[in-house]
Amino acid sequence: MLLTGPEIKKRMVGENPDIVIQPFDDRCLGSNSYDLHLADTLKVYKHTIPFGMRPAIEYKGDPSLHKMRDWFEFSTRYETYRSNPNEYDIRNPRYLIDPTNPAHHETIDIKIPETGLILSPDVGYLGSTVEYTETRNLFPEIDGKSSIGRNFILNHHTAGRGDDGFCGQWTLEIHVLYPTVVYPYMRIGQIYFKEFTGTRKPYDKNPTSHYNGQMGPTPAAPVPVDTFLKDLIQKQK
């Protein structure tokens, strides 16, 4: 069962509330959700950015002031791109991500200026919400606002669902369809809360939880390869 806006606020009251949202403002409370905002720092995986290329561009306020050359730190690298675009093609396997390799999760920080930052359709960005949340006895879920979707900004890929007991800021996996400007504190999504049945297994009490208490954009933990499944499959044969 999905909580209404008034019920969300009601569950935030008391000595041990089911919901914590910090900061909180009534102007961000909707019919059955609470609006979340983009914090001013992004991260990108260093391994995925070609040498001499910028992962994002500070917005000058007028699209006509920007050229393809702006994506490159040096004019020589732009000329290299023009003569050999394959070197900068994200489909080039040299830029692959190995989810099991911690080295591929090393990141570069990017500050979003108040004037705005242009994101590239060729880059994946890790962002975070301004809001810190705690959820107990409920199942939290985030999604994009309709206006964000209609600007073709994807604010999460598969990680829009949280866990009972999760505490922290939400990491966003941001991707855009076109070069798109984002701003700090822009409304980037909304959080919902659902009731569930069954015995609790709180995220913050689970020793295998990777991301509890995260603050700011948090890179991926290495994805495990569970070789023990081979033994289980062999036993079933």
**pLDDT score of 205:** 72
Q: What is the mean pLDDT of each run of 10 residues along the chain (237 residues)?
A: 94 94 96 96 95 95 94 92 90 92 94 98 96 94 92 87 89 96 97 89 72 83 86 82
* Best CA proximity match to 171, nearest among 128, 213, 138: 128
Per the CB < 8 A criterion, the answer to whether 173 and 161 are in contact is no
**pLDDT score of 60:** 94
Per the CB < 8 A criterion, the answer to whether 191 and 152 are in contact is no
**pLDDT score of 38:** 97
Q: Which residues neighbour 23 within 8 Å (Cβ) at sequence distance 6 or greater?
A: 130, 131
CA distances to 193, 211, 213, 233 from 109, in Å: 31, 19, 20, 43
CA–CA gap between residue 190 and residue 194 (Å, rounded): 13
The CATH code of the domain that includes 50 is 2.70.40.10
Whether 114 is catalytic:
no
Q: Which residues neighbour 7 within 8 Å (Cβ) at sequence distance 6 or greater?
A: none
**pTM to 2 decimal places:** 0.90
CA–CA gap between residue 8 and residue 171 (Å, rounded): 21
Number of domains in the chain: 1
**pLDDT score of 221:** 86
- Angle (CA) 29-32-38 rounded to 5° is 50
**pLDDT score of 226:** 87
Task: Domain of residue 85: give its range.
Answer: 5-236
Catalytic residue among 15, 114, 173, 195: 173
**pLDDT score of 202:** 75
